[in-house]
Amino acid sequence: MTKISDKDLEGLERQQDGFSRRTFIRGTLSAALAAPLLANPKFVRMARAMDFSGKKLKFMVIQPHAGSIEPLSAAFAELTGAEVEAVQIPFDQVRAQATLDVVSGTNDFDVFEYFYTDLGALARDGVLADITDRIEADRASVDPDDFLGSLYDSYTLIDGRRYGLPYDGDTHVLFYNEEIFDRNNVQAPTTWDEYREVSAIITENEKADNIFGSLIMAQQVPVIIGSSFANRLGGFGGNFVDADGNPTLTSDAAIAAAQAMLDAAPHATPTPLETGFGNSIPLFLGGQAGMIEFWTDMGTWAEDPEQSKVVGKWNVVPMPVGGANTVNRPAMNAGLSFGASAGSANPDMAWEFVKMASSKEFHAQVLVNNKTGVDPTRKSAIPIYKEFAPKQGDVVERAIQDAFPWPKNPESPKMMQALTDELGLMMAGSKTAEQAMGDAQAAWEDIAG
């Protein structure tokens, strides 16, 4: 048993203090915090009483998941006696860092957190260990059928083999500022046309006060502008690639999606090309924008009185639809899993960690922890999540169920960069939507070539 220092206690108290201020967090939370994981007999059994005392496990997480380090480390240390060290990496560097670690033979790390879009490359390059057989052998405790919809395959499966287990089921939903909407007598949009109209009305009325109808994040970084495009692509019923993996960027849906982005830009906070995560979040939290497409974390931040002026004044709806499409198909924007490093000196230990991080019990714990920013990956987690975040609960449940993935073949990073460049040129006014999509399609075909 590890000794708890005063500093830890202080930290925990501060954490609880912070939580207690948040009105929308109910029952489950205190239970989750107070009851140590060890009190859950099922969880202990899951770990098969593995003893790794004297060993050291090192894992890599993306910076946005820094809040997960503490719970992950503590839980694994308690379960197995291993010493745990974590290293945070900026989100755009995970693939390079993980690959270099294994390829150079440095093998510092036992476990990597990865974006599913990098899965093809990481598997091809031998960075992640193939854990298909371990999953099969441990099927009862992994319980893969409990993962939501297509998420399990999208996040972990490539060429019939599995390389990790899901940790954070990311998807975008549409947040809006109810106060601004009421003031302008508008309703939450259900189509991308309505979205543009609503945005135009608000901007028209309140521009003088520096309030705009919407925030469109179109900074030229794949996960930023790519997500905004994907949200519309799903709305118009499109896809990045067809069933055979051929690019479909010149489909009517794809062009309509790009066009919708372009058409909405004049009514958005100036200017979409400059809008990334960093500057858009304070704008929405400061009550200076009517709508933003974002991960569900926004709901947590919006309820924090210390950083938000919109506490209790926001709401959330599913992504709008467009064209002839009437069924909302959300995009899997980002989405993270843990995988065991192919270079780990202790594959058993690495596997236990991956398994624990994705387990039902642990997932339920981090899901209701404000600091982790983790969204549901499992069916069993949905009721817990709905209680934790009643406003987002339903929307997120629907969104994650049947989200469609970005490409995840080995060339995906290159493809998304090419698409990003074209969308950027379009937003800068150098190309029409049709030209941009045509050029992106050509680039994708060339890359697949």
For residue 88, state whether it binds another protein (rule: CB under 8 A): yes
For residue 414, state whether it binds another protein (rule: CB under 8 A): yes
Strands 314-317 and 172-177: antiparallel
| Torsion angle (degrees, nearest 10) of CA 76, 79, 82, 88 | 10
Which x/- pattern, by CB under 8 A, does the window 416-445 give for another protein?
Answer: -x---x--xx-xx-x---------------
Q: Which stretch binds another protein (CB under 8 A): 33-41, 149-157, 177-185, 307-315?
A: 307-315
The Cβ of residue 1 has, within 10 Å, a number of other Cβ atoms equal to: 6
For residue 125, state whether it binds another protein (rule: CB under 8 A): yes
Q: CA 304, CA 309: separation in Å to the nearest integer?
A: 9
User: Residue 421 Cβ, how far from another protein at the closest point, in Å?
Assistant: 7
Site for another protein in 199-218 (CB under 8 A): 210, 212
CA atoms within 13 A on the CB side of 9: 5
Closer to another protein by Cβ: residue 46 or 310: 310
Q: Which of 70, 78, 83, 85 binds another protein (CB under 8 A)?
A: 85
Closer to another protein by Cβ: residue 24 or 277: 277
The answer for 199, left when phi > 0, alpha when psi is -120 to 50, beta otherwise, is: alpha
Closer to another protein by Cβ: residue 41 or 105: 105
User: Residue 351 Cβ, how far from another protein at the closest point, in Å?
Assistant: 22
Q: Which stretch binds another protein (CB under 8 A): 26-34, 70-78, 100-108, 347-355?
A: 100-108
Measured between alpha carbons, how far apart are the two ends of the chain, in Å?
A: 56
Residue 111: strand, helix, or coil:
strand
The Cβ of residue 317 has, within 10 Å, a number of other Cβ atoms equal to: 17
Site for another protein in 44-73 (CB under 8 A): 58, 62-64, 66
User: Residue 46 Cβ, how far from another protein at the closest point, in Å?
Assistant: 29
Closer to another protein by Cβ: residue 363 or 431: 431
Backbone phi, psi, residue 290, to 5°: -75, -40
For residue 347, state whether it binds another protein (rule: CB under 8 A): no
For residue 278, state whether it binds another protein (rule: CB under 8 A): yes
For residue 100, state whether it binds another protein (rule: CB under 8 A): yes
For residue 147, the one-letter residue type is: F
For residue 114, state whether it binds another protein (rule: CB under 8 A): no
Q: CA 307, CA 310: separation in Å to the nearest integer?
A: 9
Q: CA 271, CA 289: separation in Å to the nearest integer?
A: 13
Residue 309: strand, helix, or coil:
coil
Q: Which stretch binds another protein (CB under 8 A): 19-27, 103-111, 152-160, 318-326?
A: 103-111
**Complete DSSP assignment for 212-262:** EEEE----SSHHHHHHHHHHHHHHTT--SB-TTS-B-TTSHHHHHHHHHHH
Q: CA 308, CA 325: separation in Å to the nearest integer?
A: 35
Q: Which of 37, 221, 254, 382 binds another protein (CB under 8 A)?
A: 221
Number of residues near another protein (by CB under 8 A) = 64
- Record the tokens describing residue 111, joined without a space: 């476990």
Contacts of 385 (CB under 8 A, 6+ apart): 367, 368, 375, 376, 393, 396, 397
For residue 271, state whether it binds another protein (rule: CB under 8 A): yes
User: Residue 108 Cβ, how far from another protein at the closest point, in Å?
Assistant: 5
Q: Which residues bind another protein (CB under 8 A)?
A: 58, 62-64, 66, 85, 87-93, 95-97, 99-101, 103-106, 108, 121, 125-126, 210, 212, 219-221, 269-274, 277-279, 281-283, 285-288, 295, 297, 301, 306-309, 413-414, 417, 421, 424-425, 427-428, 430
